[in-house]
Chain A
């Protein structure tokens, strides 16, 4: 065993990490987010043990909805990352494609990828657990639509970061969903969060979507306001993400990122 060689290889990774802010951020927030999310979940179940008594499958339904969001967002990022990993990125951006065409193509592909994962999950829950997500009725479509738009929005935001900062932004791509999970109130009502976190949660469409899913399953009623707020927030964030993508594309053309998609 050579300590020099061990140290040499350590240095290779150390230099990489210390030269990249996204990589440092990645090291810090993963544990923080995990502890925060599971802390809120534990806290909620410790104080509201009877909350889900009459609604079998709420957690499972919310898990499927969250997974759809996760797959949509990650799926979009994956499509973009694939081009970087295969060193095909430059070929794509010298093809006569408008940014709108690239985004539309990725949005459609991400939807198909997500549906391929979603359908078996829905089909499995009924025979295995006696639960059907279809109990959400017609509003299930609107909830999925909202989640899809938000997933795509996150995907476009991360892709903007990849364009602007290069592949070192990749780690952010994997963790955006976990970063937002505590604020999304996926498994617990918004009241579980501290007041300051509630304010953040209310400006995200996720809280309205998951609150509404629980509302339908537990109270058997529909609050159309939740669907409306989720939709309006989605329109806002989606527009913002498109604008940011165009901005990042122009910034990348100034900075040279498009021809230097290396480590």
Chain B
């Protein structure tokens, strides 16, 4: 399988603080990799570097075999991102927002693309609604539509189902599973929802204090650490002392 994301020994320092301490990992085509870790472990910083929003202090990132540092625009054309901490302009209608972002990503056949995403994400009835007036679940699906507007090869998800009710959360997870199978995209999923990670991810990376402290398939990690589920593994690793504590 081809690696769509290749991260080679990236570090990020803010002054003397080491936010990410030389991590490496790959994400294959048609794979969902989970990025786990307690708050402040370096997940968001890692995603920021993959999106080109943060410059690594050292190390290299390749997306679809292109070096990020030298091909920022080409790479941004093939990736996208969703996070509950960023929103679309509230005063625009859903359709206006999707249209604007389709233009920014130079999408061909915009109407067709919006129609396809509206059907898949069940937002057809929301297209003429004001984005700021939507519920959390509706906003989440609209943000997901925006994140898929450019048919990304790589999707970065930062807590994509945070603050959603179980039904909408399940809908989003099922959608992501189906979409990944259909389009064979790579997804990097940062989440605190261990059930979600167990269900969606082929393998996971456990981060703490800017380092990868363990990695593997969820079931293998559970066996390795003698626990009954991934949440227990997470708690064990989070509470363990590291040399940087």
Interface of A with B (CB < 8 Å)?
82-83, 86-98, 250, 253-256, 258-259
Q: Closest B residue to A254 by CB, please name it.
A: B55
B89 contacts chain A at the CB level, 8 A cutoff: yes
A256 to B72, CA, bound (A): 17
Find residues 83-106 in chain B having any chain A CB closer than 8 Å to their own CB: 83, 85-91, 101, 104-106
Is the beta-carbon distance between B104 and A96 smaller than 8 angstroms? yes
Is the beta-carbon distance between B51 and A86 smaller than 8 angstroms? no
Interface of B with A (CB < 8 Å)?
14, 44-45, 48, 51-55, 72-74, 76-77, 79-81, 83, 85-91, 101, 104-106, 146
Of the residues A83, A91, A253, A259, contact of B101 by C-beta under 8 Å: A91
Contacts of A87 in B (CB 8 A): 85-87
Contacts of B45 in A (CB 8 A): 256
Q: A82-B89, A87-B87 are in contact. Are A94 and B51 (CB under 8 A)?
A: yes
**Which are the 7 A-B pairs with shortest beta-carbon distances?**
A96-B76, A95-B104, A258-B53, A87-B87, A253-B55, A96-B77, A90-B86
Contacts of B83 in A (CB 8 A): 90
Contacts of B89 in A (CB 8 A): 82-83, 86, 88
Q: A94-B51, A94-B53 are in contact. Are A86 and B14 (CB under 8 A)?
A: no
A98 to B106, CA, bound (A): 13
Q: Could you show 10 A-B contacts with beta carbons less than 8 Å apart? A: A87-B86, A90-B85, A91-B146, A95-B76, A96-B76, A96-B106, A97-B73, A258-B54, A259-B48, A259-B54
Is the beta-carbon distance between A256 and B48 smaller than 8 angstroms? yes
CB of B163 to closest CB in A, whole Å? 14
Q: A88-B86, A256-B45 are in contact. Are A94 and B55 (CB under 8 A)?
A: no
Q: A82-B89, A250-B55 are in contact. Are A94 and B76 (CB under 8 A)?
A: yes
Of the residues B54, B91, B105, contact of A256 by C-beta under 8 Å: B54
Contacts of B52 in A (CB 8 A): 94, 253
Contacts of A97 in B (CB 8 A): 73, 104
Q: Closest B residue to A91 by CB, please name it.
A: B86
CB of B6 to closest CB in A, whole Å? 19
Q: A87-B87, A91-B101 are in contact. Are A256 and B76 (CB under 8 A)?
A: no
CB of A80 to closest CB in B, whole Å? 13
Contacts of B76 in A (CB 8 A): 94-96
Q: Closest B residue to A96 by CB, please name it.
A: B76
CB of A85 to closest CB in B, whole Å? 9
